[in-house]
Amino acid sequence: MIKLRIFPLENDIEFNEDYINILEIEDKKMFAQFIYSLNRLINYNEESEEIILLEGNKRLSISKDVMLIHDLFNVDVNESKILKALHLDIENQYRQEYSEVNLLEKFSDVIQNINDIVASYDFEFEYKREITIKELLKTINFKFDSNYYDNPFDNIMCIFDLVSTFKLYKLIVVVNAKCYFKEEELVEIYKAAKYRNINLLIIEPIVDINLKYLENKLSIDNDYDEFILKM
């Protein structure tokens, strides 16, 4: 079981396939500080005793295992970790299907033309004698068409598919998700996360005593009292 431990909260956030976790923090300063700290842990590879991610008794790396989404209009489907996983998967499948590693053999005419051109120079040259699929994909800037994913609902569904397909993160954290979606859309998002076995945490800056379908809430009010609401 994946568990998120946040100091100074008394209750851990435990992730279970039966529900989606919602963290509500009413105090704006506390809300902003938590997002700031989580963002630093992810982007600067820092460690902290204030936010700890556990799988069983094993401590996980937040920078490697947590994806933070705070702007659903501008989700980067081509971030480094995603593209590396995509390129590696293509390379592995290409090797299995075609058993070819050195792609320069396919460009022998091009290489010969280049050699003919540089033969007129009074210089000596050298170049790589082989190129891998991974290097080729990087050279031609092979990536997802980001223009295709242009709205919050499609963006988050795409991220779910990518994380599930390539096993990229242990936890996805989305900030202010309820500002973007109607209730029926949220339910579809929750179902999609469950179907793909994705651990999802929604963080909101307001306490709402009403529970939506599949929600499990940890709410912290302005007096820093904690309340757990379950279906």
Regarding whether 60 and 114 lie in a shared domain, the answer is no
Regarding whether 56 and 27 lie in a shared domain, the answer is yes
Regarding whether 169 and 119 lie in a shared domain, the answer is no
Phi, psi of 172 (to 5 degrees): -110, 125
Regarding whether 71 and 122 lie in a shared domain, the answer is no
Regarding whether 158 and 72 lie in a shared domain, the answer is yes
Structure tokens at 181: 């979606």
Regarding whether 149 and 70 lie in a shared domain, the answer is yes
Residue 57 exposed, middle or buried by CB count within 10 Å (0-12, 13-18, 19+): exposed
pLDDT at residue number 219: 95
Count of domains forming the chain: 2
The helix/strand/coil state of 157 is helix
Q: Is the Cα dihedral 168, 12, 30, 44 positive or negative? A: negative
Regarding whether 133 and 19 lie in a shared domain, the answer is no
Regarding whether 222 and 170 lie in a shared domain, the answer is yes
Regarding whether 216 and 151 lie in a shared domain, the answer is yes
pLDDT at residue number 166: 94
Instruction: Give the burial string for 202-217 (b: 16+ CB within 10 Å, else e).
Output: bbbbebeeeebebbbb
DSSP state of 104: G
The helix/strand/coil state of 62 is helix
CA distance linking residue 47 with residue 60, whole number of Å: 10
pLDDT digits (tens, 9 = 90+) for 84-104: 999 999 988 888 888 766 677
pLDDT at residue number 230: 86
pLDDT digits (tens, 9 = 90+) for 26-77: 999 999 999 999 999 998 877 788 999 999 999 999 999 999 999 999 999 9
pLDDT at residue number 101: 61
Regarding whether 126 and 67 lie in a shared domain, the answer is no
Regarding whether 89 and 67 lie in a shared domain, the answer is no
pLDDT digits (tens, 9 = 90+) for 127-164: 888 888 888 889 889 999 888 778 999 999 999 999 99
Which residue range is the domain that position 38 belongs to? Answer: 2-76+144-230
Regarding whether 223 and 153 lie in a shared domain, the answer is yes
User: How much is the mean pLDDT over the chain?
Assistant: 91
Domain boundary among 113, 139, 165: 139
Domain boundary among 139, 155, 175: 139
HEC per residue, 185-221: HHHHHHHHHHHCCCCEEEEECCCCCCCCCCEEEEEEC
